[in-house]
Amino acid sequence: MESVSNGVLTSYEWLPIHGLSTAEVFARIRDAGQEPHWAYAAGNERLSCVFCIMGSKGDLANGGRHFPALLASTGRWRKGRATRCT
C-alpha cells in the first residue's frame, strides 16, 4: 500500500480488488456471505449513478428500464425543458 505524507496528514492508496478478476471479486463477495448489488444480477457491468457518463451502453439502457421516470426527467432536463433537476 503506497502512502504520501506532508508531515501532518498521510494519504494511502488502497485498491484491494484492482488485481482481481471479475470472477474473483464475486467469489470474495460470496465467500463473505454477502450478495452483490442487485444491478449486477440485472445485467450491469459496473455500479455507479444510474446514468453515469462512464457507464456502458448496456448499463445506461438497464438504468432506463429500471427507472423510466428518472430517464424521462433526465431527457427533459437535457433538452432545457425542465425547470429543475428532479
- What's the pTM? 0.63
Mind listing the pLDDT tens digit for each residue in 12-53? Answer: 888 889 999 999 999 999 999 999 999 999 999 988 888 888
Alpha-carbon gap, residue 60 to 44, rounded angstroms: 9
Alpha-carbon gap, residue 2 to 64, rounded angstroms: 39
Q: What is the pLDDT of residue 69?
A: 92
Segment among 42-46, 65-69, 75-79 with least mean pLDDT:
75-79
Residue whose C-alpha cell reads 423510466 in the numeric block:
68
C-alpha distances in angstroms, 60 versus 30, 53, 81, 83? 26, 9, 21, 24
